[in-house]
């Protein structure tokens, strides 16, 4: 159980919510709403005494225990060694021992075997996102936070990633995305909506993705098309 109690900073204003251990979460909102800032608070990149896991203050835990508990996957791939290969990067992502067979299995599942010996700096933006997903799976934290993982993915890869995020492959997931059709398809997720640093909605997926709520937050810019949510141009 992850809980944030009355947290405020230079962007966020008195944020409180509780996420049960069997729940996944979508964090939605416009640019500048505070989504990435909230993700960094939840992952302790921004330290706070207001964050609790199973009623224990996360700030009191060791760095190793925090790393096993919550893993933050940023929106951009950052690496300081231009010559590091994908395989080397993935091995560095592991907190506890993983066999070579386990690593190869994840590489094959994500269909990145053809780039495993390539330098990370040579990858396309979409390939980098897949490597970040592979690193998250190998890290195997209790909660994984993805900040715009779906950015730069082509349609085929987007579906592959959707199937993983819609499964039990990772223990518990918190996802920031601007892709509302993708978010709409993740029906087993709760939704948190931020507006200018203020929590405007926290609740069930079905309650958020209704015509009345979408009109409240997005005006008339969205419409339902069969089983999809599309921008009404």
Average pLDDT, the chain: 92
Backbone angles phi, psi at 190, to 5 degrees: -80, 165
CA gap 204, 20 in Å, rounded: 13
pLDDT in tens, 125-134: 899 999 999 9
Q: What are the start-end ranges of the H helices in the chain? A: 35-42, 63-69, 86-92, 100-109, 125-139, 155-165, 180-185, 205-208, 211-218
pLDDT at residue 8 tops 70? yes
Backbone angles phi, psi at 184, to 5 degrees: -60, -35
pLDDT at residue 41 tops 90? yes
What pLDDT is recorded for position 80?
A: 63
Comparison of pLDDT for 173 and 84, the residue scoring more = 173
Cross-strand bridge partners of residue 144: 71, 173
Q: Determine whether 165 is exposed, middle or buried from the number of CB atoms within 10 Å of its CB (0-12, 13-18, 19+).
A: buried
* pLDDT band for position 44 (cuts 50, 70, 90): very high
CA gap 117, 114 in Å, rounded: 8
**How many other CB atoms sit within 10 Å of the CB of residue 221?**
13
Mean pLDDT of 102-121: 94
What pLDDT is recorded for position 96?
A: 78
CA gap 118, 88 in Å, rounded: 10
Mean pLDDT of 168-178: 94
Q: Provide the percentage of residues in the chain whose pLDDT is more than 90.
A: 71
| SS3 at position 9 | coil
Mean pLDDT of 137-147: 95
Q: Show the domains of the chain with their CATH numbers.
A: 2-208 (3.40.50.300)
Comparison of pLDDT for 60 and 230, the residue scoring more = 60
What pLDDT is recorded for position 233?
A: 66
């Amino acid at each position: 159980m992850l809980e944030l109690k009355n947290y405020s900073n230079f962007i966020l204003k008195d944020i409180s919510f509780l996420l049960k251990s069997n729940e996944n979460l979508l964090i939605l909102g416009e640019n500048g709403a505070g989504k990435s800032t909230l993700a960094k608070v939840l992952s302790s990149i921004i330290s706070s005494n207001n964050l609790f896991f199973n009623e224990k203050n996360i700030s009191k835990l060791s760095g190793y225990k925090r790393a096993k508990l919550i893993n933050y996957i940023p929106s951009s791939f950052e690496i300081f060694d231009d010559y590091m290969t994908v395989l080397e990067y993935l091995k560095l992502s592991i907190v506890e021992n993983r066999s070579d067979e386990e690593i190869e299995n994840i590489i094959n599942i994500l269909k990145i075997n053809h780039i495993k010996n390539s330098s990370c700096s040579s990858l396309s933006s979409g390939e980098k996102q897949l490597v970040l997903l592979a690193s998250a799976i190998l890290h195997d934290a209790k909660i994984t936070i993805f900040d715009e993982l779906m950015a730069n993915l082509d349609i085929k890869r987007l579906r592959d990633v959707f199937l993983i995020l819609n499964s039990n492959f990772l223990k518990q997931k918190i996802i920031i995305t601007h892709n509302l059709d993708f978010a709409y398809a993740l029906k087993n997720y709760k939704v948190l909506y931020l507006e200018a640093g203020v929590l405007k909605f926290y609740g069930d997926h079905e309650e958020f993705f209704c015509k009345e709520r979408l009109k409240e937050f997005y005006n008339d810019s969205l419409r339902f098309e069969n089983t999809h949510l599309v921008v009404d141009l």
